[in-house]
A = this chain, B = another copy of it.
Amino acid sequence: MSVTLKDVAQAARVSVSTASRALTGTGLTSERTQQRLTRIARELGYRPNPIARGLKTGQSRLVALLVHNLTNASFQVMAEVVQARLKALGYQMLLCIGGDDAQQESDTLTTLVDHRIDGLIVVPTGKNGPQLKALAKDVPIVCLVRRDDATDLETVLADDPQGAYLGTRHLIELGHKRIGLIVGRQDTTSGRERLSGYVRALREAGITRDDTLIHAGHFVPETGATGCRKLLDLPRPPSAIFVANHEATLGVLRVTAERNIAIPDDLSLLCYEDMPWFEWHRPAISIVDNGARDLANLAVDRLLHRMDAKGNGNDGVREYRVGARLIKRDSCRRLDTPISARSTKPTSSPSKSSAARSAASKSSAAKPAKV
């Protein structure tokens, strides 16, 4: 079917070994034969068979990325970044979707090492620590976004304590004192850390923590919906909600829409992790940006590093943090400003005019996009 190394060798009247050495550039062949074989290989349209090579070398030029889903915008960005980076280096990305499910994750991991992947970037569920640890002996692994506490793997995390702190502080600075928090499951790194950042900001501001304002739950829209309802039904509902559970955002929006709640006039809304449409939503939604692109890039960097320094095990195992950034748009309002001052009428306070919006988008455009 396709041209093999043997064909090339025969055409050049040399042995397969020589052909192999010439084409892989081991420097063990004469300049002349090397060039001659390169030419002949090109003429014949020879393409090395990665499977055959892989059998011998134990490498596959395949790197896997295991994420929970593709609905989460951060995971989309990560998938695109990882794929682009790897392709440039001659690797193919195996994208796997684990659904944040322990069993699926476990199965997938097994299949992946069967396929002799050269590296793995994984967003761990945290429930397969032992397995991950075992696999790490055979293949370089980098954890992304979440830590798996049962392992000591290299890990690239968002700075969630800082992000949640920044977001909460922003709301406090706008005059909010009762701030609802909808956050992820507390058995995940991000869930815990975002809660802690929120708590710290409150403490610093001298606001006593009110647990009825905190709703932790699974990473699904329903969490947002029920959490939001619970918060709004409180005797003294919050004036702002910080949705630090990305997937929950849709649920929150649904409930505020159903209940006819105007944002930011009736309620300020701050979300976590950017999505393309947050900027075009009306009002544009302010967010804490977790830096998905930079997280992915760093994870790839670290993985490549480990793949190069193969074998030199867990000497330099380290944890990295990518800083969070607050991106102010139009979904949070200053509490002390009366609502009437914010409508279309020409006033001094910033309105939702196109000027304000374009300013917001300008600030986000100011950051240079990478990759």
Contacts and interface: CB of A to CB of B under 8 A. Distances in A.
Contact of A84 (B97, B221, B262, B362): B97
A262 B115 contact: no
B83 A76 contact: no
B92 A94 contact: yes
Interface in A263-285: 265-266, 275-277, 279-282, 284
Nearest to A253: B280
Nearest to A275: B277
A121 to B, nearest CB: 14
Given A265-B354, A351-B343, A116 B80 contact: no
Interface size class of A (residues with CB under 8 A): 35 or more
A47 interface: yes
A11 interface: no
Copies in the complex: 2
A1 interface: yes
A71 interface: yes
Contact of A55 (B1, B52, B80): B52
Contacts of A357: 257-258, 262
A358 B358 CA distance: 24
Nearest to A137: B1
Interface string A235-275: 00000000000000010011001111010011000000001
Given A51-B55, A110-B47, A260 B94 contact: no
- Residue among A47, A221, A280, A339 having the largest count of chain B Cβ atoms under 10 Å: A280
Contacts of A115: 50-51, 61-62, 92
B94 A93 contact: yes
A253 to B, nearest CB: 4
A117 B1 CA distance: 14
Given A80-B69, A92-B115, A94-B92, A258 B358 contact: yes
Interface of A: 1-2, 47-52, 54-55, 60-62, 69-71, 76, 79-80, 83-84, 87, 92-97, 107-108, 110-112, 114-116, 138, 221, 250, 253-254, 257-260, 262, 265-266, 275-277, 279-282, 284, 339, 343-344, 351-354, 357-358, 361-362, 364-365, 369, 371
